[in-house]
Structure 1
Amino acid sequence: MSRHTLSGMGAGALSALLYLTVQWPSPGALILAYLSPLLLYLVGFSLGATAVLIAMLTGTLVAFLAGSWLDALAYAVLNAAPAALLVHLSLMSRTSPDGQTTVWYPPGQLLTWLATGASLLFMAVLAWTSQNEGGLWYGLESFMQSMVQTFAAAGNKAPTVQLQDAVAKMSSLLPAMVGVSWMTMHVVNGLLALGLAIRFGWNLRPAADIAHLQVPKSLFYALAIALASAFLSDMMGLMARTIAIYLLYPYIFAGLGIVHLGARLVKARVALLLIFYLLLFILGWPLILVAGLGMIDQWAGLRRRISGLRSHPENGQDNGQEKE
């Protein structure tokens, strides 16, 4: 067997075993399961799309043999297939019209595919649970309310009305939270894998500059439809709101690109970005503003205006020569 085949098989097998640790009764096992796509991305960015396809098939087989057919299906759909697709797209490139540079598949398009995948998976789950009484949200709320009842009974207390209302609201947001977590898992593992590949000189493509990340305008139209539909009542409104959150996700990275580009105008950009990300981590809600920044840039050309400031600095200071 070739090195590519052996590496792909080994990465897939280990990735599947990491994924199956989610069944262990330990909080640390969740971290291992969360990192299970890392090896798929690493072998893909290092050896190519064929290697990650071998890893996907091997991992699915190992998940079936070490777990069950349901484990294999979940691993393939949630981890392996998305990683294989994103690696395949990431390694696509073309030569610029002047023939001087290589243009790689844009990261904004990758994020759009990821958001589309989250939306499709969500709709598949909706269709699957539609056979049950009340559908997905009724099942989630009933499950969470039963957990609250169990914990309350253990403490010889009855759950308050306020707590039950909070659980009902949380259950309506749970599909969106799970979908965002799933997308973040692939983004984090993909970036870690590419960073490792670059560190050891294995990478088949360079890292992208977040300051140049842009999402396609078609995503905005899809998001506008989802937001408009979010005001519908009952199931349709909940479904539209959830999908709107998925489609808003790529705009967070577009907004972060604007922040990074703006930070390059000042000398203390590292400290500025450190404070910014610290506040983002602590508060959380500014992510909405960041996503809004990405949406505004798509129509107002903020990136172009900031780049113009860097190209024509005042006071004779060429900030455009500084690199992050």
Structure 2
Amino acid sequence: MKNANSLLVGILAGAASALMLFAAHRSGLGAVVLLAFAPVAIYIAAMGWGTLAGIAGALAASAAVLMFSSPASAAAAAALIFAPAAWVGHLSNLGQPGSDGKTMVWYPLSGILFRLMLATFAAFILTGYLAGYGEDSVVPAFVALMQEFSSANPSVPVPPEADMIDRARFYTKIIPVVVPATWLLINVLMAHLSSSIVRRSGLMARPRDDIAASLTLPLEAVGFLVAGLIGMMILPPAGRLASGVALGVGIAGFGVVGLAELHLRTRGRDARGFMLFATYALIVMFSVPFLLFTVTGLWRTVTRNRPPANNGGTA
């Protein structure tokens, strides 16, 4: 009976996620908001009703997209939206009894964030491959779009075609960095929101984590930044695109850790609310300040993974 209930909840969650995705496709300016909330139903199902519900939700949502779209679109939606939500929900429920036999030791947040970074990287590589993303296809399309916009708005000055091509090439290089980074941040936010909903409903066994104090990343995550930076400098175009995805995922992942450090350092301060509001407002408006938190997150990760100093004691 419990499995049947989990399956039903998962299927309903998958249907809700698919409907949200379809609505985003037809919503113009509101598409970003709907797309951001598309995985929430699967997050809630997986966190509240278990792994079976998460898997059922991801499969049901993918099947719904496949029914009304192409196999490539269904694969991209599954990789970007549905599967990561089910996986994170599964990981959040993993736990085992502690050494005292009374307390539970839950899967660490560092592992969950790192695996979400891996999933995001793999999903964007797959999606880029399926879409044929590359300079040869994107640059002409972008130039045509700018020319169409100029034709529809005669009062807007038309830049020379060479300038449009240069601008299109720049966007082709920056999009693989910015979009995966943004999507990872959205997923972190939606996972946090979903866990809060499930916990308040009394459906989540995992207690509330002290994110500000405990969040970090394994040292292996530094590879995203290193590989991304080096790859964008020395690899051919296709390799640079993959490197851009790695760099974007690394920037976002370590940035989240850096923001956790900010929340920890401002605890107990009278102006904490204003400091947090001002920080997030600057990030939303200008984006560049987020890089400071990427550096902070990298520092926090390295220092917390540093082996304890040997004070001269004997084994």
Same fold (TM over 0.5): yes
- Whether the 8 Å contact between 2:42 and 2:82 is mirrored in structure 1 is yes
User: Displacement, 1:249?
Assistant: 1.8
Question: Matches of residues 106-117 of structure 1 in structure 2 within 5 Å?
Answer: 106-117=108-119
Alignment equivalent of 1:280, drawn from 283, 287, 290: 283
Farther-moved stretch of structure 1 (81-90 vs 226-235)? 226-235
Q: 1:79 to 1:255 in 2, by over 3 A?
A: same
- Whether the 8 Å contact between 1:42 and 1:197 is mirrored in structure 2 is yes
The separation in 2 between residues aligned to 1:146 and 1:163, in whole angstroms, is 9
Farther-moved stretch of structure 1 (244-253 vs 229-238)? 229-238
Tell me if 1:159 matches 2:131. no
The separation in 2 between residues aligned to 1:74 and 1:300, in whole angstroms, is 37
Question: Matches of residues 90-169 of structure 1 in structure 2 within 5 Å?
Answer: 90-125=92-127, 127-128=129-130, 136-156=134-154, 158-160=158-160, 161-169=162-170
- Whether the 8 Å contact between 1:19 and 1:34 is mirrored in structure 2 is no
TM-score (norm 2): 0.84
Which amino acid in structure 2 is aligned with residue 189 of structure 1? M
Q: 1:272 to 1:69 in 2, by over 3 A?
A: same
- What's the RMSD between the two structures over aligned residues? 2.6
Alignment equivalent of 1:37, drawn from 36, 39, 48: 39
Farther-moved stretch of structure 1 (153-162 vs 189-198)? 153-162
- Whether the 8 Å contact between 2:219 and 2:305 is mirrored in structure 1 is no
Q: 1:241 to 1:36 in 2, by over 3 A?
A: closer
* 2:294 alignment partner in structure 1: 291
* 1:242 alignment partner in structure 2: 245
Q: 1:61 to 1:217 in 2, by over 3 A?
A: same
The separation in 2 between residues aligned to 1:126 and 1:51, in whole angstroms, is 29
The separation in 1 between residues aligned to 2:29 and 2:224, in whole angstroms, is 37
* Unpaired segments ≥5 residues, structure 1: 304-324
- Whether the 8 Å contact between 2:97 and 2:103 is mirrored in structure 1 is yes
Identity of counterpart residues, as a percentage? Answer: 25
Deviations 1:230-284 (A, max 9, x none): 3215413443233222122211111112111111253443333233323333332
TM-score (norm 1): 0.82
* 2:48 alignment partner in structure 1: 46
* 1:184 alignment partner in structure 2: 185
* 1:195 alignment partner in structure 2: 196
The separation in 1 between residues aligned to 2:6 and 2:241, in whole angstroms, is 45
The separation in 2 between residues aligned to 1:266 and 1:254, in whole angstroms, is 20
User: Displacement, 1:22?
Assistant: 2.8
Question: Matches of residues 3-18 of structure 1 in structure 2 within 5 Å?
Answer: 3-18=5-20
User: Displacement, 1:184?
Assistant: 2.6
Alignment equivalent of 2:269, drawn from 266, 271, 279: 266
* 1:214 alignment partner in structure 2: 216
* 1:316 alignment partner in structure 2: none
The separation in 2 between residues aligned to 1:60 and 1:128, in whole angstroms, is 16
Which amino acid in structure 1 is aligned with residue 208 of structure 2? A
The separation in 2 between residues aligned to 1:60 and 1:237, in whole angstroms, is 30
- Whether the 8 Å contact between 2:9 and 2:45 is mirrored in structure 1 is yes
User: Displacement, 1:210?
Assistant: 2.0
The separation in 1 between residues aligned to 2:111 and 2:249, in whole angstroms, is 14
Deviations 1:151-180 (A, max 9, x none): 123334532354543332122111222212
* Unpaired segments ≥5 residues, structure 2: 307-315
